[in-house]
Amino acid sequence: MKDLVSKIGPIVALAPAIVSATATSAALDLLGFKSAVLIVQSGAIESAGDFTVTLQESDTTTSGDFTDVAAGDLEGELPDTLAADTVYKLGYTGTKRYLRAVATKNGGTSIGLSITLIKGHPESAPVA
């Protein structure tokens, strides 16, 4: 059997919650890993909630240094509007040390949402 659990490092970017405003994760450190996948899980949407999620990158943890990840450094894409009760995945192939997820409220009331970053291709395995 193939082992995956000792080769990944999951981090909570946005804990499961009812989101009613734009929410930005803390800086997520990729030190020691060479790839990442963002997992976005949506739940119920209230009052035609219109939310998008973007992935940003930076060489520092300074908030103003983060920029949206270029399309060439992404595998897959996220929709312009999240649908209810759906799981999305977005791969990162860039070279920046820090990532953060931004869930932007474009309209409506709220959405159930959680975002997890899964770090992969560790420089040293197994990952604790």
Which domains does the chain possess?
A: 5-122 (2.60.120.380)
Cα 92–Cα 104–Cα 46 angle in degrees, nearest 5:
120
pLDDT in the model for residue 128: 80
Instruction: With cut-offs at 50, 70 and 90, classify the pLDDT of residue 1.
Output: low
d(CA 12, CA 71): 23
- Please report, rounded to a whole number, the percentage of residues in the chain having pLDDT higher than 90: 90
pLDDT 10s digits, 73-120? 999 999 999 999 999 999 999 999 999 999 999 999 999 999 999 999
- CA-to-CA distance for 58 and 38, rounded, in angstroms? 16
**pTM of the full predicted structure?**
0.93
Contact (CB, 8 A) for 20 and 104 = no
